[in-house]
Structure 1
Amino acid sequence: MDLHPHDGITLRKNAIGLLGVVFFVIATNGPLTVLMGAVPSAITFGNGIGLPGVFVLIGLIYLLFSVGFAAMAHHIKNAGAFYAYVSSGLGHPLGVGAAFMAITAYASLNLALYGMFGFFGSHLLTHITGLELPWWVVCAVFAIVVHFFSTRNIQFNGKMLGTLMLAEIAIILIFDAGVFIQGGGPDGLTFAPFAPSNVFVPALGSAIVFVISAFTGFETAAIYAEEARDAKRTVPLALYISVIVIMTLYAGSTWLLIAAYGIEEALKTAANNPGEIWFTMSTKLVGAWSADVMDVLMTTSLFAAILSFQNTLSRYLFSLGREGVIWRGFAVLHPKQQTPTIASGFQSVLMIAGIVAAGLYSLDPLTVLMPLAATPASIGIVVVQFLAALAVVGFFHTSKRDANLFQRLIAPGVSAMALGAVLIMMLMNVSLLTGGNPVFDWLLPTSVFAIGLFGVAYAMWLKRNRPAVYQNLARVLNEV
């Protein structure tokens, strides 16, 4: 049965097309942030030169995941995304638990990105103006700017993020072309990074920890279903395009980086000078200007990712508020822009509080705040993706909607098993994310599962005490 929005509260309809959704998704992913921030560490602590092969491996898992996810997107149109999917396929209690984990994960990841922005942004500010400010002051001011942009209409955000994303990809492709034209380094354009003997090594689990984090955000395409034109076509296509672009860009660029240095030198440089590995080679092959542009675009990449996650979180809060799961004030929309202005404001206040607290406690933004905030984010998102894959199977089994065997069972089933294996590997290698602190090694993963269980318990409380709210959870907002 098709259900309709609560009290007529909906986001702006038909506001963005396919390219707009893709821009949001890839901006959320932050290509330069991943390549410059995660790749050097992944080479050193992961499977070394086999890293490009891991990007392909995880990309294929997510393509399988997208098959079932996209099939379900034909029937579900809700800004709550994972919340709506898990509720519809596995039941309301797990749906609310998934929502709470997703909100915690995305908020934690945004705080981690603010930590990175604090480091790079304050350095860029000093370089350009000579003004030296504490990183957390720069971040707090920046959070106000992000809030302003997040409350503008979705078309404006899409155009701006699209421009920034295209600039990022352009400088990455210029670097790639420079390596390709040069014919690589001492070993030429070697394909050793894709050899199974270099990919499937004992340190594969360690590499997966970094690579999974690099793909985070592709699933946010479903969050814009209420605002997308022809959502039943747009969301599935955006998912496929985003995963393919992310996989190809990361695998290809990492391969060419390793090829440019040569296998032995790439390993040494990643270990000894990770912060300069891209800048040094770009200066050599393309020119000093390219390194300067990379430096600026690294900061804009973080801005785009932070803004995209702000939009993601505000829509989760909007969806839950609209259905009465949490404070209904989160469902209030800007009268002109039709964006979740209260939800966005709440998140901005939360981020500023976290930033200021980290600053007052003198936490290093790059070596302390970022890994501690990213750990629950990475684990939480994989848990929710695992549940979403299972939800696809459950949804098509119980609803009897049209979907072929591959869409409704094989693809989601295989991706669920793969994501379950990935989750186990992440938990076994969690010290890579926490920095090896034994307290955080168990505390941060445990907190993710505790929040999920709290969501399940809260849903059961709603069932007993607010049955009307419980029955309306994760309403499918189909208009057909």
Structure 2
Amino acid sequence: MAQDSDIALSVNPVVARSGQTADEGGATRLRGHMGVFDIVFTVLAFNAPLSVFVGFITVIIGFGNGLGVPVTYLGAGLLMMLFAVGFTAMSRRLPNPGAFYAYITAGLGRPLGLGAAFVALVSYLFILVGGYAFGGLSWQALVRDVLGGPDLPWYLYTGLVMVIVGVLGYFRIQLSARILTVFMCFEIVAIVAYDLVVLGRGGVSGVNLESFAPSNIVSGSIGLAVLFGIVCFSGFEATAVFREEARDPERTIPRATYLAIALMAGLYALSSWAMVIGIGTDTIVADSAADPTGTALGTVAVYLGTISLDVITVLLCTSIFAANLATHNVTGRYIYSLSVDRIFPKALSVVHKTEVSPHRASIATSVISLVALAGCIVGKGEATTLYAVLVGIGGYSLILLLLLTSLSVVAYFRRTGDPEVTLWRSLVAPSLASAGLLVAFVLATQNVAAMIGGSQGMADFLIGLFLGLLVLGVVVALVLRSRRPDVYRRIGRQDI
């Protein structure tokens, strides 16, 4: 890696004072004015809080550690905060987008960095395609069951959503950020309204602290609880993906990262505690295991009324749409970054002259998603199965990337010896995060079949796929180092 650290700015010229950049052909690079809340709400949209509320909390209660779920979320949030200490320290030192891709390259070298980029890109594509399938199913149920409309195939709704997302992804990121902000505000208001009503009424038998009793915290399958709890925080790393489009990124990115994690930890811990109180400590575990989604929607109907349940159903659809849009934008920027580095065709790195968006990379994302989803439909894939498998394995691979990134923080600062970064930020916090994430990765590897709701054979195949992508990236990088050293030097845009 020593030879990798001498890349001059001439490889990737930067006009620092103007805040604009250009490649060899003079094409303008991405730039924008995203503030802290623009990025935070984009991250929350990727995470889809209402989907977590309806589909994940009761799963962890039923199959994880039961009543102790609020502490699981607080613990997972603490682990993500530890990760963020090193993550944000890197973001202040590396003026390049790419998040996992850029940071792993800087810390662990170009070959592993490129492998991580391949894993990240395919992970986001899996999550995007799975989200499209789930969205189509949700819109189908809304139109048919709530609005009394025709019973159309789910993939027709998916196709319409894909068109809308593709159009929005073509334009500048601020447009998407505004739309996502509106959707996220409605979601959070709905979730907090449930929490406040339950706590205000005292639930079934009064407000209690049984969720925080040590015996309940470690009850059931604590491993599965930790695993699913961490997956519920997926997406916060995307704060660094928007670095080029952020206002004052050295401040905006760290603030957005910490705020996003804190909001998710607080919201999920409070909501799971309210759900335990609202349904009752005697029955919630059994009810959640028998019907996770039905249990969540049922308690909403009890405390907010049937009309509010219909509103929640509508908001669930918009939540999934917002997640699709956020994931599309993140995926497109990964394709853009790899194209700027010439790993992918240079044509995909062109930025729109007026929208200042990676419009070609966005179009490529839409085309890849369409082809992948069409293949699944032709192969008779069911929407619910696609969602469980693709999003589940995507979450698994993101844990791997978090682990590699945390290790890269330690390696980077040990090598550079930056005196301005404290030992806590450069070594202690990222080492603690690495230890926690290693445990989570082992648990995830042991429970992939449970994550994807499929067979162990399918789980083994998907694990092999992502490990194969990691190896493929390493091999491609080594070939580039031998045959195309100019392209090899561009990997990760390491201006250090």
TM-score by length of 2: 0.92
Between stretches 331-340 and 276-285, larger displacement belongs to: 276-285
Structure 1 residue 157: deviation in Å?
1.0
In 2, distance between residues paired with 1:244 and 1:434?
A: 27
Which consecutive residues of structure 1, in runs of 5 or more, have no partner in the other structure? none
The answer for the alignment partner of 1:79 in structure 2 is 97
CA distance in structure 2 between the aligned counterparts of 1:350 and 1:434, rounded to whole angstroms? 22
Aligned to 2:173: 154
Measure, in 1, the Cα distance between the counterparts of 2:158 and 2:263.
30
The whole-number CA distance in structure 1 between the counterparts of 2:435 and 2:368 is: 35
For 2:160, the equivalent position in structure 1 comes to 141
C-alpha contact 1:392 1:408 (8 A) present in aligned 2 = yes
* Per-residue Cα deviation, 1:284-331 (whole angstroms, up to 9, x for no partner): 222222211110000000011111010001101101101111221221
1:200-237 C-alpha deviation (Å, 9 max, x unpaired): 24511112232222111011000111111110001001
How far 1:476 moved relative to its partner?
4.2
1:389 and 1:290 mapped to 2: Cα distance?
42
Aligned partners of 1:333 and 1:341 also within 8 Å: yes
Contact 2:58 2:296 survives alignment (8 Å): no
Higher mean C-alpha deviation, range 237-246 or range 265-274: 265-274
1:392 aligned partner: 409
% identity of equivalent residues? 31
* Alpha-carbon contact 1:53-1:195 (below 8 Å) kept: no
Relative to structure 1, is the Cα distance of residues 303 and 151 closer, same or farther in structure 2, using a 3 angstrom cutoff?
same
Q: Could you tell me which residue of structure 2 aligns to residue 370 of structure 1?
A: 387
Distance 1:66 1:35 in 2: 24
Aligned CA distance change for structure 1 residues 58 and 12 (closer, same or farther; 3 Å): same
Task: Return the alpha-carbon distance in structure 2 between the equivalents of residues 374 and 220 of structure 1.
Answer: 16
Whether 1:383 and 2:392 are equivalent positions in the alignment is no
1:270 and 2:281 are equivalent in the alignment: no
Residue 375 of structure 1 and its aligned partner are, at CA, apart by: 3.2
Residue equivalent to 1:345: 363
Which residue is equivalent to 1:165? 184
**Is the 8 Å Cα contact of residues 407 and 431 (structure 2) preserved in structure 1?**
yes
Q: Deviations over 1:229-272 (max 9, x none)?
A: 11000100111000000001011101101111111221232123
Paired residue type of 2:239: A
Match of 1:124 among 120, 136, 142: 142
Letter in 2 for 1:152: F
* Higher mean C-alpha displacement, 123-132 vs 332-341: 123-132
Amino acid in structure 1 at the alignment position of 2:213: A
RMSD of Structure 2 on Structure 1 (CA): 1.7
1:355 is displaced (CA, Å) by 2.1
* Contact 2:393–2:448 (CA under 8 A) maintained in structure 1: no
In the alignment, the residues of structure 1 paired with residue 211 and residue 372 of structure 2 have an alpha-carbon distance, to the nearest angstrom, of: 39
8 Å Cα contact 2:31-2:356 kept in structure 1 = no
Q: Deviations over 1:420-472 (max 9, x none)?
A: 11000011111212324131121111111111110011111110011011112
Matched, 1:24 2:42: yes
Which runs of structure 2 are paired with 1:230-249 in the superposition (5 Å)?
Answer: 230-249=248-267
Superposed CA offset, 1:378-407 (max 9, x none): 121111111110111111122232200000
- Deviation of 1:178 after TM superposition, in Å, equals 0.5
Is contact 2:28–2:353 with CA below 8 Å preserved after alignment? no
Identify which of 397, 411, 421 aligns with 1:403.
421
Q: Which residue of 2 aligns with 1:101?
A: 119
What whole-Å deviation, never above 9, does each CA across 1:339-372 have from its counterpart, x for those lacking one? Answer: 1111111111122222222223332211x11122
Uncovered stretches (5+) of structure 2, i.e. residues with no partner: 1-5, 15-20
With over 3 angstroms needed to count, the CA separation of the structure-2 counterparts of 1:429 and 1:10, relative to structure 1, is: farther
Change (3 A) 1:442 1:232: same
Q: C-alpha separation between the residues in 1 aligned to 2:302 and 2:454?
A: 36
8 Å contact kept, 1:46–1:205: yes
CA shift for structure 1 position 119: 1.4
Bigger shift: 119-128 or 18-27? 119-128
> Which of 307, 330, 352 lines up with 1:312 in the alignment?
330
Secondary structure of the equivalent of 1:133?
A: coil
Corresponding residue number in structure 1 for 2:64 = 46
After the TM superposition, which segments of 4 or more aligned residues of structure 1 sit over 6 Å from their partners? Answer: none
Q: How many residues align?
A: 476
2:479 to 446, 449, 461: 461
Tell which deviates more after alignment, 125-134 or 218-227: 125-134
Equivalents in 2 of 1:17, 1:476: separation in Å?
25
CA distance in 1, matches of 2:30, 2:362: 16
Determine the structure 2 residue equivalent to 1:360.
378
Change (3 A) 1:311 1:105: same
Q: Is the 8 A contact 1:9 1:322 kept in 2?
A: no
98-107 or 283-292, larger mean C-alpha shift? 283-292
Structure 1 residue corresponding to 2:234, chosen from 193, 216, 224: 216
After TM superposition, the score normalised by the length of structure 1 is 0.95
CA–CA separation in structure 2 for the residues paired with 1:304 and 1:85: 27
In the TM superposition, residue 51 of structure 1 has moved relative to its aligned partner by 1.6
Distance 1:9 1:267 in 2: 57
Shift in Å at residue 279 of structure 1? 2.6
Q: Which residue of 2 aligns with 1:181?
A: 200
